[in-house]
Amino acid sequence: MKKVHLGMLLLLLLFVSIGSGCIGGQQTVTVTQTQTQVQTQTQTKTETKIQEKIFIRFAGWSAGETEMKNYEKIISEFEEKYPNIKVKYEVIPQMFHENILASFGAGVAPDVFYVDSSWAPIFIEKGALHPISEFASKDFINQFYPFLLKPFEKNGKLYGLPKDWSMLALFYNKKLFEKAGLTKPPETWDELLEYAKIITEKTGVPGLAIYLGGFNRYVPVAVSNGAPRPWFEKPEDASWFDNPIVKETLKWYIDLYRIGHVQMVKEGKKPYVVQPSDVGAGWLGDAFGQQKVAMVISGNWMIPFLADQFPNFKYGEDWDIAPLPAGKAGRVTMAYTVILGINSKSKHVKEAWEFVKFVVGPEGQKELVVKAGHTLPSINGFENDPDLWPQHKKTLSFIPMYNDLIVFLWGSKSGILENKFSDAMASAMRGEITVDEAIEIMKQVVKEELGG
């Protein structure tokens, strides 16, 4: 045994001596390198002083390559107009808000960053966002749809302006509808389910694709059937789940997959409801574009994706958009919006505002939203713009049909609650727990997250 140790020791010594030789040789080199680095750094510092150039960091997630390219374009236009401000564009593809929060913890948060309505309260409450109402004029703010501003208001102050917005609508495959002998989109939730079954039976293609979980996709079903809007601010608000309409509609929504897929597969029948991965697709837009399902409920972000990825699958000829089906109390849809928030700890708040004003203002929205066709413009008056894509125009035309338009926000901890609710719902959809168990878990989550 001793021999082994001795051998290993010798080997170790050999490595150390070789290693030290290398490091010893490199030491002088590295010293000179750092010196030159210091020199160049001081040089750039003096340069920036002379030109008074200001750098701001702008972080967003990406809805695809085209969006990134468009943002790069608008940034270069901004830099041309404001030669003293440089914008560094940073794309965080996953867990965006979690990343931003962590960067606050580390003290390196960007100057301007996206904030989704569901995450806004956390950022506003903690004073992470600079109030935009300090800079923006009344006229500028009044251009925006007022209901989109609500999630970002607190104590009479406004903390951000939405860069754009989207709302849920029903996307349906016209060719598959024809094959199944259906002439028009479903009008009610029950009809939606019925249509899904008919299409599957007649064409062999699953009728409807949904996500497992997705509390925000279920809310319009509940509210359109007469449930109050969900709002969780204190532990007692868990009682929302005791509402009989909430229970009934939740069971309906969960059964879409639990019966429409899990049970069907078990019985060896063809499922009429699928999730994207069941048909080998990454997300709803992908499943719909590949024509592997006949209907999906999704937002406007799906439109440029379809145009880009599936150019032969044409709007109007092959697929169309309809308003969300109605419940017993009318039609309800969900709206999603994102602001460009300004970091309250930023050293260049004024310059950051110039940038935000440029991007979310009429000029920026015309380029980024209307012409590029990503989503819906958050500024009034683009409804009849000739550049507005017809698909988006059509979704906008549904607004008068809706009794209620809910912005994605259920209280101060929406983002966290949404995650936890969705986990419970997904579990019930897979048939691991009952609907009642899922409701108990969701109530417990509300109590724990909002208590203390």
Partner 1 sequence: MHFSFSSIYEKTKTKELIAGLALVSVAVLLNMVFGYFAMAFAFYLSFFKWDYIGSMKFVGLSNYKIVFEDIIRGIHGAPYLLSPFYTGLKNILIYTAIVVPIQTFLAIVLAAFANQKIKGQQFFKVSYFLPATTSSVIVALIFVWLFMRNGFINYILTHLIPGFQPIDWLNNRNYLLLAIAMVAIWGTSGHFMVSFLAAMQAIPKEIYEAAMLDGAGPIKRFFYITIPMLKPMITYVVVMGLIGALQMFDLAWVMAGANGGPGGAGYTVALDIYNEAFTRIRPGVAAAKSWVLFAIIFTTTYIFQRKYGRAVR
Residues at the contact surface with partner 1, assessed by CB under 8 A: 1, 3-4, 7-8, 16, 19-20, 23, 95, 98-99, 101-102, 104-105, 122-123, 126-128, 416, 419-420, 423-424, 426-427, 430, 432-433, 437, 441, 444-445
One DSSP character per residue, 72-102 reads HHHHHHHHHHSTTEEEEEEE--SSHHHHHHH
Considering beta carbons, is residue 245 or 349 the nearer one to partner 1? Answer: 349
Considering beta carbons, is residue 267 or 317 the nearer one to partner 1? Answer: 267
Considering beta carbons, is residue 128 or 246 the nearer one to partner 1? Answer: 128
169 sits in which H/E element: strand 169-173
Q: How far apart are CA 131 and CA 156, in angstroms?
A: 10
One DSSP character per residue, 189-231 reads HHHHHHHHHHHHHHHSS-SEE--SS-HHHHHHHHHHTTPPPP-
Structure tokens at 23: 């490091």
Least separation in angstroms between residue 14's CB and partner 1 is: 14
Considering beta carbons, is residue 366 or 430 the nearer one to partner 1? Answer: 430
Least separation in angstroms between residue 399's CB and partner 1 is: 33
Least separation in angstroms between residue 423's CB and partner 1 is: 5
Least separation in angstroms between residue 288's CB and partner 1 is: 22
Considering beta carbons, is residue 54 or 426 the nearer one to partner 1? Answer: 426
Structure tokens at 78: 């901004």
Least separation in angstroms between residue 436's CB and partner 1 is: 12
Considering beta carbons, is residue 109 or 208 the nearer one to partner 1? Answer: 109
3-class secondary-structure state, position 154: strand
Beta carbons of 297 and 308 less than 8 angstroms apart: no
3-class secondary-structure state, position 311: coil
Beta carbons of 31 and 25 less than 8 angstroms apart: no
Least separation in angstroms between residue 123's CB and partner 1 is: 7
Beta carbons of 44 and 86 less than 8 angstroms apart: no
Considering beta carbons, is residue 105 or 386 the nearer one to partner 1? Answer: 105
Q: How far apart are CA 229 and CA 237, in angstroms?
A: 11
**Block residue for tokens 């983002």:** 415
Considering beta carbons, is residue 8 or 91 the nearer one to partner 1? Answer: 8
Beta carbons of 121 and 411 less than 8 angstroms apart: yes
Considering beta carbons, is residue 177 or 211 the nearer one to partner 1? Answer: 211
For 356-414, list the strands marked E by DSSP: 404-407
Hey, which residues does 56 pair with through a beta bridge?
Answer: 87
Beta carbons of 284 and 213 less than 8 angstroms apart: no
Least separation in angstroms between residue 109's CB and partner 1 is: 9
Least separation in angstroms between residue 98's CB and partner 1 is: 4
Structure tokens at 25: 């040789």
Beta carbons of 334 and 404 less than 8 angstroms apart: no
Least separation in angstroms between residue 425's CB and partner 1 is: 10
